Amino acid sequence: MLVLGLESSCDDCSAAVVEETPAGPILRSLVRESQDAIHGPFGGVVPELAAREHLLQVRSVMAGALAQAGVGLTDLDRIAVTRGPGLVGSLLATFSASKAVAWRQGLPWVGVHHLLGHLNAARFAAPDLPFPALVLLVSGGHTHLYLAPDWTTLELLQKTRDDAAGEAFDKTARMLNLGYPGGPVVDACANTAVKAAEPFTPPKFRDGKASWSFSGLKTGVKLRIERDPRLAQGGAGDPAVQGLCRSLQEAISSWLLKPLPGWAEARGARSLVISGGVACNSRLRSEAALLAAREGLVLAIPEPRLCTDNGAMIAAAGALLTPDPNPWRQNADADLKLV
Ligand code: KG4
Ligand code: ZN
């Protein structure tokens, strides 16, 4: 089965052709148009600009994905698109395009929850993953831990109380004038550090409920810059900036992983999936490998281009879902819930 997957929930416009086989999904093509140059000067995504840019990008990413896979619209068996959650103006670009293609070609159409997409990104490298799986979804908008009994179901275990982990990277990079998006630059800068700066203090939760908090990191970085204003001007070559990035990255990665062994034991998890943009982080990837080995969990972290938002993960999830009998009644949903 050949599936065209489309994704435009935030600032990446992406399309991919995926071949679903009995042995799992095969990536036939993946195209993504970045909008970093547009949002970079603002230090974050501007929803209105993202939506308008998607409208300009959607046709070329679809055409590019088909050409790269060496197939035409008539070869497709299904079209899958992100239904939500996300920025509604952004979502509507590929949502409308997917309906137009489905109508023109008489193709089965399926709307996919964005987070089910991130989970299914792990299916390319680990189609035989043992379940139940702990699923850590970490991006610019999400820091959520789920238990998955299979590839199409997510049960929430815990989530951040405030900022997402990706926001902590992006906001730190902004305060240090390192550029946008923050994750990749902080990661690179941390890896050049000779030594980490003073560690960040982990948050304490008095109510004893399982959760994370990352907004304190923002204040922590701000206070360090107030104490030493040169940090904001030093750039990626400054050893003090590198040390700060290293301790920030170490804090985020260790805080994210800390609750996992307890949950794995409590819920009998056999594997661990980490996906979403922050799953590209080098420190998180290496620490997760050590943790999985220690806990006897099979680890599945997609390759970096499949961790960030992409059409391939939507196609892979869409291949497992039942097509909608009446796509024309469906709409994008900025707050789409998992069922
Ligand atoms: O999944 P994604 O592409 O979009 C959302 O759904 O948000 O994730 C984007 C987030 C951004 O916050 C970006 O800074 C972060 O992923 N990110 C990283 C790395 N690469 C991207 N964070 C840490 N380390 C990285 N190497
Ligand atoms: Zn995402």
Domain span(s) for CATH 3.30.420.40 in the chain? 2-120+306-329, 131-301
Report angle CA 70, 6, 301 to the nearest 5 degrees. Answer: 95
Q: Whole-structure pTM over 0.85, yes or no?
A: yes
Question: Residue 233, Cβ neighbours under 10 Å: how many?
Answer: 11
Please report the pLDDT score of residue 90 as a whole number.
Answer: 97
Q: Which of the following CATH numbers is that of domain 2-120+306-329: 3.30.420.40, 2.30.130.40, 3.90.1170.50, 3.40.1190.20?
A: 3.30.420.40
How far is residue 221 CA from its own chain's centroid? 24
The arrangement of secondary structure in 131-301, i.e. its CATH architecture, is 2-Layer Sandwich (3.30)
- Assess whether the C-beta atom of 181 lies below 6 angstroms from ligand 1: yes
Please report the pLDDT score of residue 43 as a whole number.
Answer: 84
Nearest CA to ligand 1 atom 8: 277
Residue 103 has phi, psi (to 5 degrees) of: -65, -50
Rounded distance between C-alpha atoms, residue 37 and residue 134, angstroms = 35
Rounded distance between C-alpha atoms, residue 274 and residue 7, angstroms = 19
Nearest CA to ligand 1 atom 19: 183
Q: Sorting pLDDT into bands at 50, 70 and 90, what band is 49?
A: very high
Question: Residue 165, Cβ neighbours under 10 Å: how many?
Answer: 28
> Closest Cα partner for 319 from 130, 164, 116, 167?
116
Q: Sorting pLDDT into bands at 50, 70 and 90, what band is 290?
A: very high
Q: How far is the CA of 191 from the centre of ligand 2 (A)?
A: 24
Summary mean pLDDT of the chain = 96
